[in-house]
A and B are shown apart, each in its own frame.
Chain A
Amino acid sequence: KNQVEQSPQSLIILEGKNCTLQCNYTVSPFSNLRWYKQDTGRGPVSLTIMTFSENTKSNGRYTATLDADTKQSSLHITASQLSDSASYICVVSRLNSGYALNFGKGTSLLVTP
C-alpha cells in the first residue's frame, strides 16, 4: 500500500480560479513533506519543503499546509495560470532515511482558458 495518497487524481479548473490539492500519508517517523511540480516529460521541481514544526509555507501563488497530527497536507494554488498545468506530487521523507523519498502518484492539474 502506498504510504502517500493524493487526491483528486486529476482536476480541471478555469484560468484565474483557485484550487486545493490534498495529500494524506502514513510514513512514520515523519521527517519532512515536500510538494513538487512536474511538467510533462520533465523532472520534478520543488515548490515547498516543510518539517514537523512548520504548518504552512508559501512560494508565490502556492501555499502548502501541514497537519502532522492528522498526517495531512494540502497545496493551495491561487489565481491559477495556464502554466500551472502540471502534475503536483506530494513527497514524504522518513526520519533518518532522507534519501529514500516516498512519492505520491500526483494530482494532474489542467488549467483551461
Chain B
Amino acid sequence: DTGVSQDPRHKITKRGQNVTFRCDPISEHNRLYWYRQTLGQGPEFLTYFQNEAQLEKSRLLSDRFSAERPKGSFSTLEIQRTEQGDSAMYLCASSSKQGKPYEQYFGPGTRLTVT
C-alpha cells in the first residue's frame, strides 16, 4: 500500500497523559499536513510541513501540541497533558509539488478518546 498511513488508528488515554501519533506520507511527497476533525464537523487545519520545515501553524495548535518532521519523511504529532476537548480524529495528509499540486491525499486518521 503506497497511501498515507497513520499509527495508531485508535488511542484511548486518560486526561493528563501525553500521546504521540505518527504519520507516514506517500513516498516523495514533500508536503505534509495535520488536521483535526470533531464529530459532525469538517477537518480543521493544524499545521503544515514542507520537507522538514514547519511553515504554518494554526491558532488551534496550542502550546500543548507539537509536531515534528525531523528528516522530511514521517511526522509525529504530540499532545501533552491531554484534555477531554482533545478527543477527535487526527488526520494527516500529504501532497507533492509535482503532478497535481492541489491534491492532498489523506490517511485513515487516528481517533483519540480522552477519558
Contacts and interface: CB of A to CB of B under 8 A. Distances in A.
Interface in B30-73: 31, 33, 40-45, 48, 55-56, 58
Contacts, number: 56
Interface size on A, as a range, is: 20 to 34
Nearest to B4: A43
A42 B37 CA distance: 11
Contact of B91 (A34, A43, A93): A43
B91 A101 contact: no
A43 B40 contact: no
Describe A's contact surface by its main secondary structure. Answer: strand
A89 interface: yes
B104 interface: yes
A25 interface: no
B100 A49 contact: yes
B74 interface: no
Interface of A: 4, 31-32, 34, 36, 41-46, 49, 89, 91, 93, 98-101, 103-106
